Amino acid sequence: MERLTALLQTLLDTVTALLAEYPMAGEWYMAFVRFLFPVLAILILYRAVRSLLKIPHTPETWGQLSLPNGAPILLTHWENIIGRSKTADVYLNYPSISRQHAALCRGKDENWTIYDLGSKGGTLVNGEKVEDSAPVKLGDTIMLGGVPLVFLPQTVAEREAMEEKRRAERPATIWPSFLWLTLFQVLACLQLIVAAGTEAPVMIPLAFFGLTIVMWLYFAILRTTHCVGFEMETIAFFLSTLSLAVTASSAPGSLFKQFVAILLGLVLFLVLGLFLRDLGRVQKNRWLMAAAAIALLGITLVIGKSKYGAVNWISIGPLSFQPSEIAKICYIFAGSATLERLFHKRNLTLFILLTGVCIGCLGLMSDFGTAAIFFVTFLVIAYMRSGDFATLSLICGGAVFGAGIIVKFKPYILSRFASWGHAWEAASTTGYQQTRTMSAAASGGLLGMGAGNGWLHSVPAADTDLVFGMLCEEWGLLIAFLAVGSIITLAFFAARACRVGRSSFYTIAACAAGSLLVFQTCLNVFGSVDLLPLTGVTFPFVSNGGSAMMSAWGLLAFLKATDTRENASFAIQRGPQRRLTEAARRRAEMVEDPFGTEEEADDEED
Amino acid sequence: MKKIERRAVVCSILALLLTIGMGIFLFRYLTDGGSWASSAFNRHLYHTDGVLASGTVLDRDGDVLSTVENGKRTYYDNETVRKATLHAVGDLQGNIGTGALNAFADKLTGYSLLNGAFGADRGSDLYLTIDARYNYEAYQALNGHAGTVAVYNYKTGEILCMVSAPSYDPLHVPSDIESNDRYKGTYLNRFLSSTFTPGSVYKTVTLAAALEELSDLENRTWTCQGSVQIGDETIVCSGTHGEQHIGDAFANSCNVAFAQIAEELGAETLKTYTEKAGLTDSYDINGLPTAKGSFSWENITDGQLGWAGVGQYKDQVNPCALMVYMGAIAGGGKAAQPYLIEKTVSALGIPSIPHITRKTGMLVSTATAEKLSDMMADNVEKTYGRDRFPNMDICAKSGTAEVGEEQRPHAWFAGFLRNEDAPYAFVVLVENGGGGSSVAGTVAGRVLDTIVNGY
């Protein structure tokens, strides 16, 4: 292996030596490609962003309730609230029905359960009163406050019509974006080699080449399983490419580590995505995840090392690791909940407890940026779970009060943020990093100085906390804004996708992950340009850092798990829908040919 | 589910906040980006010691005044030229804010907000309108005095000569620059950024007002017995001029006559003509603002008005504004706005868009300007001596501005040439130099001789 890289290095050295003889060739190349990069970036992102933001999607249907007058109401989620309230999923405007009367939920093994939500009129299944919950089968009659509903499957015609509609809305083909991204990677790699000159390490072309291969492999493998949605992956791969470029410019020695981090991140993304497919499995492991979040943060607190003021690193041999990044994934996993669970435990006590422990640990580590991220994520999850503004305002007030007390007893904490808003007045002390970021960013102009041609990377934490400045300086304002725009797109998609989400678990987790990514980007970008205090958090996908990269990819799995468009996501089970259609077809055949042989359901894939 | 869907709006709100924040950042980037980039620690534009990393400053003939050689910024070889052009070119430490190296750093490096600092390492050539030779002569003529000399073409606006003293060698900054009185205010370009008591040169404004407001002016006479009592002030004259017409009074620079005229005109009228003359305005010279002159007309007594009318009292005038006023008298009421950058040529050899000459407003009416011109020509004929200005159809006014009991007066000499091929207006100020005509007039004569008659 070492001999191979040594050989490749000599090969690269010959090329760079040749380049050094014709310096104008490099100059012309840089002058030309800086115009090309933003164009390519737009070509890469345009398809992905447009496809992610396109609405509305025809939702999946899981069955229907037939009203007394014969009109059917489709069940488009695994968890449906039935009631007189406008926000009910099955809206029934009868005076005898309560605002939130009952919930019809699809459990494991495709069994449905009806829950009475403390209704006045009562709930009956096939004439029997439902005390708390009762199983429901197709064909059963459900009586809500005297209104009879029949729980029915859809007919073949209805299902086929729906499937046709959904197929027409399939995600756009994405391979052109991948092609453009490959070109982008090749040009960026060349640009970095030209900028580094004769000292260019062979890791630059190897890492970029590796990323290209991984990207196409991922595409090819997923394509064989008939997955067609690659928008989020396009965005993630694009940002990861920028990350490699930033790393190559600031710390070429870390390139291999960063490439491995992308690879591990992709693996985590796949594993977590596949794990999320089964809601039952997910629910069983929520406790485990809560424990993992606490354990990760606790261990860091005990054996953590300090870097740039925050004690959030664990070093095992040559590897150093930031467990709080992975704790984010565990925290969202543990915090999200199905509707079923929300009926049982209305209050947030345990979740607040988990949050308290997590934020407490982070506070003790002096990692206030991550603590703020956890707090915002908590607010998003808590609001989505309870919708209770009053309690959350109270909690916010409490948090502000608590922060006030901490600052009163430990005023030195504030001194870290003292120059906020006045960075230029403290340009050589506490405003050092921010002023350098702004100056470098303004030097880049719209198109940037060219990758590898910046000076900001010599400022501490330039490729992590100040990475937005590096993007502006080396890649230009256009690409820096496109990178931020990508994150914004992900958050908007998460909010949009709720409409057709299967379970509230996925919806809450996706929104929490989207919000987390956006808030983290806010802290990173605005912290580095003095619009917010500089807290030292990373830019998702872009910052140099293994744990941060893995965490970003892991969070993306939550978004992937809420993408219910036809064949769009590997994190969505396609079996249940197919089986519904098959069952409907079977029933139709039985009617046509009562003596025909029944075909076995094909369960090749779940 | 629908309920939770609605609550998902928090995620969109956060995304929206990020979008708004990016908008705020973009706004600040567009408004302040230039000053962010021109921080001395920006390695794209400045060396580690804060010196501009690229760009060449040249004079109108292409003499290199400052450039970068082997990564080090250098200046013109001759020490006197370095001193004479210091305020136009700028210093290495960034103390002289109006110097090209500081004020025109963006043009020198080719930096722009849209293109960034790309190619800044190669730098551009910035041609100033000044001629190093004229600056050299002017600096020599000042002979160590503090003051300023400037000449400009009132038809095109090019500033041909701009010297401010005291000056120093930017390559060997004197160690006592902060403490020694010799270098007091050395970082200031007096031509652009200072104001001074004008003394008798201000009589050009008083006379312009009188020519328009007093209809029988040219038939009247004034008697000067060396001084006159107005209110509780005694206006002292430089001599005893006896009975004189307005032309003689102007040529004699008779304080007695002009104080009485000022009293007759009144503060309001003088204020109007002063403002019309542009003496209280700021000019924009390639983005460099000139200092505004200041006058005090409110609650003024007759005696004080008399002093104000002869350029004393609280009158303060900026040399550049005075020079432009001289240009306007020469140009029949309007003059070209002065400018300093002839052109820039980028590293790829692409020149900038040529300068478009802009005119000032009417600083004085055309008829008055003609009369004033003739009377200023008469001044030279009668008082200063035409022989001192060979081959020049020169119109001028001297000034000897009293600046305090203990100090010698400031010497002024301002005016213009009516030569078709040499349409130049000029201003000379020698701080505590003494007599206007004798001291400042000599400096003006020497510089103009070089410009008009060559070496």
Whole-angstrom Cα distance, residue A271 to residue A571? 9
Nearest Cα to Cα of residue A341 among A133, A137, A513: A133
User: From the CA of A455, how many Å to the nearest CA of chain B?
Assistant: 7
Q: Provide the pLDDT confidence category of residue A600 given band limits of 50, 70 and 90.
A: very low
The pairing of strands B424-430 and B410-417 is antiparallel
* Ramachandran angles phi, psi of B294, nearest 5°: -140, 145
Test the B interface: residue of A432, A443, A515 with most B CBs within 10 Å:
A443
pLDDT of residue A472: 95
Considering only alpha carbons, which residue of chain B is nearest residue A383? B7
pLDDT of residue B216: 85
Considering only alpha carbons, which residue of chain A is nearest residue B40? A439
**pLDDT at residue A606 greater than cutoff 50:** no
Nearest Cα to Cα of residue B123 among B191, B213, B47: B47
pLDDT, mean of residues B321-332: 93
B348 touches chain A (CB under 8 A): no
pLDDT of residue A242: 96
Question: A388-406, pLDDT tens digit by residue?
Answer: 888 888 888 988 888 888 8
Q: Is B11 within 8 Å of A555 (Cβ atoms)?
A: no
Question: A34-85, pLDDT tens digit by residue?
Answer: 999 999 999 999 999 998 888 667 888 888 898 878 788 889 898 899 999 8
pLDDT, mean of residues B230-237: 85
pLDDT, mean of residues A190-206: 91
**pLDDT at residue A272 greater than cutoff 90:** yes
Count interface pairs A-B at CB distance under 8 A. 157
**pLDDT at residue A309 greater than cutoff 70:** no
pLDDT, mean of residues B366-387: 88
**pLDDT at residue A347 greater than cutoff 70:** no
**pLDDT at residue A602 greater than cutoff 60:** no
Considering only alpha carbons, which residue of chain A is nearest residue B10? A380
Whole-angstrom Cα distance, residue A141 to residue B421? 108
Whole-angstrom Cα distance, residue A251 to residue A270? 28
pLDDT of residue A117: 87
**pLDDT at residue A460 greater than cutoff 60:** yes
Cα→Cα distances A579→A90, A605, B92, Å = 24, 10, 79
User: From the CA of B339, how many Å to the nearest CA of chain A?
Assistant: 28
Tokens for A372?
């703020």
Contacts of B116 in chain A (CB under 8 A): 442-449, 476
- Helix and strand numbers (H, E) in chain A are 21, 14
Considering only alpha carbons, which residue of chain A is nearest residue B36? A439
**pLDDT at residue A596 greater than cutoff 60:** no
Contacts of B2 in chain A (CB under 8 A): 81, 87-89
Q: Provide the pLDDT confidence category of residue A541 given band limits of 50, 70 and 90.
A: very high
Strand partners, A66: A72, A150
**pLDDT at residue B224 greater than cutoff 90:** no
Phi-psi region of A127 (alpha: psi -120 to 50; beta: other; left: phi over 0): left
Cα→Cα distances A448→A442, A451, B396, Å = 9, 8, 55
Distance of CA A416 to the CA centre of its chain: 30
Q: Provide the pLDDT confidence category of residue A601 given band limits of 50, 70 and 90.
A: very low
Tokens 């491995």 sit on residue: A260
ipTM above 0.90, yes or no: yes
Q: Residue type at B317? A: V
Distance of CA A353 to the CA centre of its chain: 24
Among A557-561, A577-581, B150-154, which stretch is predicted with the lowest mean pLDDT?
A: A577-581
pLDDT of residue A592: 63
pLDDT, mean of residues A248-268: 93
Residues A273-285, buried b or exposed e (16+ Cβ, 10 A)? Answer: beebbebeebbee
pLDDT of residue A56: 66
pLDDT of residue A240: 96
Which residue of B1, B14, B24 is in closest CB contact with A491? B14
> For a pLDDT cut of 90, what percent of chain A falls above it?
44
Q: Do B21 and A531 touch (CB under 8 A)?
A: yes
pLDDT of residue B219: 86
pTM of the model: 0.79
Considering only alpha carbons, which residue of chain B is nearest residue A518? B15
Average pLDDT of every residue of chain B: 88
B8 touches chain A (CB under 8 A): yes
**pLDDT at residue A131 greater than cutoff 90:** no
Nearest Cα to Cα of residue A231 among A361, A68, A45: A45
The residue that leads in pLDDT, B159 or B215, is: B159
Whole-angstrom Cα distance, residue B62 to residue B128? 9
The residue that leads in pLDDT, B391 or A342, is: B391
Whole-angstrom Cα distance, residue A496 to residue A515? 13
Question: B135-147, pLDDT tens digit by residue?
Answer: 999 999 998 889 9
User: From the CA of A498, how many Å to the nearest CA of chain B?
Assistant: 5
pLDDT, mean of residues A199-212: 93
Average pLDDT of every residue of chain A: 88
Among A435-444, A573-582, B423-432, which stretch is predicted with the lowest mean pLDDT?
A: A573-582
User: From the CA of A75, how many Å to the nearest CA of chain B?
Assistant: 11
Tokens for A29?
């190349």
DSSP one-letter code for B66: E
pLDDT, mean of residues A302-313: 74
pLDDT of residue A291: 94
